[in-house]
């Protein structure tokens, strides 16, 4: 498919982690800024080099102000599978497009970036010299140039098999870097208030991007825990709500999750976490509440629902109900008494979550959540379905040899009517996931089988 | 708990349905919390507000200068938006209760956090 000539081509240099999550992130962000994802490449797979068309440089810059999956973006001036192809491609790039960045009053520098290979300084200089044919009229300034140009050489992905010559060479004008440094700034290691299952900072930011969280949105997390997802959302300018069934977590009480710490300190609660990052103004409220019995009035007022529901492994899946049994390990605190310890069957939980999202999201709003999966039995049909929600993406992250979790993003495309509440029962999607009610058993099944095997072999 | 939140909450006691809104607010400790004014956010919230419920809650807390309804062209009216900003986001109920108007059930607010959990009896099917 030929690319429209009015669109400019850009080269995205991607980070090599969370591979499956990258394309949905870029697509979601482009759609947030009014661009649409157009590319001549069929798929990107594992490669860190993505060529795509973006209508304007403004959109490209906005994209980079949000992405944690992309390291940098360049305006692509030429590329090829060999230096000759690259130079020929550069000679075909319209001079009038180059001119604004090469004129005599400007300063510039050229960087040589290589991937999966190291070059000597001499080799790099040779490559810069070979670009002399380009009409640079400005002055070289290595410290603070106005324009930075890069040659990017792709030597493949296998560190054990480095080719003599690069597979691909690109030349472009550097425009902006992505937000990967946020991963360090928001690292859970430095956060005041954490829990046993606090989400990794990079993934929280990716989730907020998949959800198209934007300034002045209201974002809600029904299983908020210590608020990691709210932090990511607030960072992008959204105002945040959270609920959790665990009184102690919401209030910031009880046992600490840090190794050398016994009890939580006074500065450890969700509000304090936001304050730590200067995001307190985005804190709306948190409530102690059972996600299966929401207390929100009828209406659509959430822009994004973003959550990591409990899988029943490190935190129990609970809901209020009518059994007297209280699980072991819940600290005794009269106000925090959770009346039930009904195991909340996972399929019910996702059914409730999807219905809740369909009811309370604004039209076009997104639901982003993790779905735990027993890999040997997983099929796409198992992803929970709802007539009002369209599946946007489904990205896998492995947890163990036989389990993984999938980040599911859905968008509300139809207003909720009462009868939609039960339509899932008519769907084929409902029955297959029922098997995952025993996710907890299956998660541990590998271990129990191995223990049984070891016992058996030690007896022989 | 902010008044914006109170405006969105409803009782979910069995059988109560839409008659669970609005919850009757009673406060024993209230704090005024300055929050940075963001006119765009406030303007976005105006269409979502249930005014009768807001006025009732504001009245219970003896708040003054609460607009009775959205005015024409409110999106550009800074005075109006600042008043709404104060009412919705800066008044924080630290201790108090929310009462279901139908069943009378009380939900406590402590340290600014409402507890909406129901007991075993109330959730029996």
Reported ipTM: the value is: 0.96
pLDDT score recorded for residue A327:
42
Top residue of A222, A242, A285 to mutate, by most chain B CBs within 10 Å, is A285
Chain B residues touching A241 at Cβ < 8 A: 5
Interface of B with A in 53-112 (CB under 8 A): 89, 108, 110-112
Chain A residues touching B36 at Cβ < 8 A: 281
Q: SS3 sequence, chain A? A: CCCCCCCEEEEEEECCCCHHHHHHHHHHHHHHCCCCCECCCCCCCCCCEEEEEECCHHHHHHHHCCCCCEEEEEEEEEEECCHHHHHHHHHCCCHHHHHHHHCCCCEEEEEEEEECCCCCHHHHHHHHHCCCCCCCCCEECCCCCCEEEEEEEECCCCCCCCCCCCCEEEEEEEEEECCCHHHHHCCHHHCCCCCCCCCCHHHHHHHHHHCCCCCCCEEEECCCCCCHHHHHHHHCCCEEEEEECCHHHHHCCCECCCCCCCECCCCCCHHHHHHHCCCHHHEEEEEECCCCCCCECCCCCEEEEEECCCCCCCCCCEECCCCCCCCCCCCCCHHHCCCCCEECCHHHHHHHHHHHHHHHEEEEEEEEEEEEEEHHHCCHHHCCCECCEEEEEEEEEECCCCEEEEEEEEEECCCCCHHHHHHHHHCCCHHHHHHHHHHHHHHHHHHHHHHHHHHHHHHC
Are A285 and B113 in contact (CB < 8 Å)? yes
Are A322 and B120 in contact (CB < 8 Å)? yes
pLDDT score recorded for residue A203:
95
pLDDT score recorded for residue A337:
38
Chain A residues touching B114 at Cβ < 8 A: 285, 287-288
Residue B125 pLDDT > 90, yes or no? Answer: no
A325 vs A212: which has the higher pLDDT = A212
Across the interface, of B2, B8, B112, the residue whose CB is closest to A301 is B8
In this prediction, residues A105-114 reach a mean pLDDT of 94
Reported as a single tens digit per residue, the pLDDT across A396-411 is 999 888 889 999 999 9
In this prediction, residues A253-271 reach a mean pLDDT of 69
pLDDT score recorded for residue A1:
43
Beta-carbon contacts of B26 under 8 Å, excluding residues fewer than 6 positions away, are: B60, B96, B97, B98, B99
B113 vs A188: which has the higher pLDDT = B113
pTM, entire model? 0.87
In 3D space, the residue among A218, A208, A152 whose CA is nearest the CA of residue A14 turns out to be A152
Look-up: residue for tokens 């797979």?
A45
Chain B residues touching A288 at Cβ < 8 A: 113-117
Rounded to 10 deg, the angle between the A19-32 and A57-64 helix axes is 130
pLDDT score recorded for residue A43:
63
Beta carbons within 10 angstroms of residue A271's beta carbon:
20
The model's confidence at residue A339, banded by pLDDT at 50, 70 and 90, is very low
Across the interface, of B4, B10, B111, the residue whose CB is closest to A297 is B10
In this prediction, residues A308-327 reach a mean pLDDT of 60
Chain B residues touching A298 at Cβ < 8 A: 10, 18, 21
Chain A residues touching B115 at Cβ < 8 A: 247, 287-289, 335
In this prediction, residues A70-95 reach a mean pLDDT of 95
Q: How far is A308 from chain B (nearest CA, A)?
A: 20
What mean pLDDT, rounded, does chain A reach?
84
Reported as a single tens digit per residue, the pLDDT across B53-111 is 999 999 999 999 999 999 999 999 999 999 999 999 999 999 999 999 999 999 999 99
What mean pLDDT, rounded, does chain B reach?
94
What is the spatial distance between Cα A286 and Cα A251, in angstroms, rounded to a whole number? 9
Reported as a single tens digit per residue, the pLDDT across A132-190 is 999 999 999 999 999 999 999 999 999 999 999 999 999 999 999 999 999 999 988 88
DSSP bridge partners of A373 = A404
Top residue of B105, B116, B124 to mutate, by most chain A CBs within 10 Å, is B116
Q: How many Cβ contacts (< 8 angstroms) between chains A and B?
A: 97
Chain A residues touching B9 at Cβ < 8 A: 287, 295-297
Question: Which of A10-14, A377-381, B9-13 is predicted with the least confidence, judged by mean pLDDT?
Answer: A377-381
Instruction: List C-alpha distances in Å: A14 to A7, A49, A81, A317.
Output: 21, 6, 19, 36
Task: Tell me what percent of the residues of chain A surpass a pLDDT of 70.
Answer: 77
Are A285 and B118 in contact (CB < 8 Å)? no
pLDDT score recorded for residue A455:
58
Is residue B31 within 8 A of residue B94, CB to CB? The reply is yes
Are A324 and B118 in contact (CB < 8 Å)? no
pLDDT score recorded for residue A25:
97
Alpha helices in B1-125 (DSSP H): 3-8, 39-45, 51-60, 78-85
Across the interface, of A216, A335, A340, the residue whose CB is closest to B115 is A335
Across the interface, of B4, B21, B118, the residue whose CB is closest to A320 is B118
Are B38 and A339 in contact (CB < 8 Å)? no
Reported as a single tens digit per residue, the pLDDT across A348-372 is 888 899 999 999 999 999 999 999 9
Are A293 and B12 in contact (CB < 8 Å)? yes
Residue A3 pLDDT > 50, yes or no? Answer: no
Are A296 and B10 in contact (CB < 8 Å)? yes
Cα three-residue angle A342-A346-A348, rounded to 5 degrees:
80
pLDDT score recorded for residue A152:
97
Chain A residues touching B2 at Cβ < 8 A: 284-285
Please report the sign of the dihedral spanned by the C-alpha atoms of residue A317, residue A319, residue A322, residue A327: positive
Phi and psi, residue B92, nearest 5°: -120, 115
């Amino acid at each position: 498919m030929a690319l429209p000539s009015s669109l400019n081509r850009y080269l995205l240099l991607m980070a090599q982690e969370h591979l499956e999550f990258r394309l949905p992130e870029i697509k979601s962000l482009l759609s947030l800024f009014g661009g649409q994802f157009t590319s001549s490449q069929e798929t990107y797979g594992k490669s860190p080099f993505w060529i795509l068309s973006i209508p304007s440089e403004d959109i490209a810059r906005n994209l980079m102000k949000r992405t944690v999956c992309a390291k940098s973006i360049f305006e692509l001036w030429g590329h090829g599978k060999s230096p000759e192809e690259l130079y020929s491609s550069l000679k075909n790039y319209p001079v009038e497009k180059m001119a604004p960045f090469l004129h005599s009053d400007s300063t510039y520098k050229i960087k040589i970036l290589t991937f999966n290979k190291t070059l000597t300084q001499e080799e790099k200089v040779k490559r810069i010299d070979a670009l002399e044919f380009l009409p640079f009229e400005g002055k070289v300034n290595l410290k603070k140039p106005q324009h930075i140009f890069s040659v990017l050489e792709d030597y493949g992905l296998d560190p054990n098999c480095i080719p003599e010559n690069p597979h691909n060479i690109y030349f472009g004008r550097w425009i902006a870097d992505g937000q990967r440094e946020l991963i360090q700034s928001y690292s859970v290691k430095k956060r005041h208030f954490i829990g046993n299952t606090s989400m990794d900072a990079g993934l929280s930011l990716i989730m907020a991007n998949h959800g198209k969280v934007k300034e002045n949105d209201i974002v809600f997390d029904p299983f908020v825990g210590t608020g990691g997802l709210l932090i990511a959302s607030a960072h992008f300018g959204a105002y945040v709500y959270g609920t959790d069934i665990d009184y102690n977590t919401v209030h910031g009480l009880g046992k600490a999750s840090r190794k050398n710490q016994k009890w939580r300190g006074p500065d450890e609660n969700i509000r304090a976490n936001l304050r730590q990052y200067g995001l307190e103004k985005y804190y709306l409220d948190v409530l102690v509440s059972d996600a299966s019995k929401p207390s929100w009035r009828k209406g659509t007022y959430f822009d994004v629902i973003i959550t990591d529901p409990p899988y029943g492994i490190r935190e129990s899946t609970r809901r209020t109900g009518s059994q007297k049994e209280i699980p072991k390990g819940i600290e005794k605190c009269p106000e925090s008494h959770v009346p039930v310890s009904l195991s909340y069957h996972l399929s019910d939980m996702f059914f409730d979550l999807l219905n809740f999202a369909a009811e309370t999201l604004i039209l076009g709003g997104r639901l982003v959540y993790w779905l735990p999966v027993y890999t040997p039995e997983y099929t796409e049909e198992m992803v929970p379905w709802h007539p009002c929600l369209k599946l946007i993406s489904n990205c896998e992250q492995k947890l163990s040899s036989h389990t993984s979790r999938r980040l599911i993003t859905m968008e509300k495309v139809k207003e909720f009517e009462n009868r939609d509440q039960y339509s899932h029962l008519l769907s084929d999607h409902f029955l297959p996931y029922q098997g995952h009610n025993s996710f907890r058993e299956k998660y541990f099944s590998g271990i129990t089988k191995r223990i049984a095997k070891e016992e058996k072999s030690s007896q022989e | 708990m902010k008044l914006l939140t109170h405006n969105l909450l409803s009782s979910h006691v069995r059988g109560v349905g839409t008659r669970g809104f609005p919850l009757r607010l009673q406060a024993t400790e209230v704090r005024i919390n300055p929050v940075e004014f963001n006119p765009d956010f406030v303007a976005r919230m105006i269409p979502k507000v249930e005014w009768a419920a807001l006025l009732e809650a504001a009245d219970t807390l003896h708040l003054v200068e609460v607009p009775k309804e959205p005015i024409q062209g409110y999106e550009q009216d800074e005075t109006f938006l600042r008043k709404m900003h104060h009412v919705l986001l800066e008044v924080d109920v630290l201790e108090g209760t929310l009462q279901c108007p139908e069943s009378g059930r009380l939900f406590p607010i402590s340290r600014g956090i409402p507890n909406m959990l129901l007991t075993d009896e109330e959730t029996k099917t």
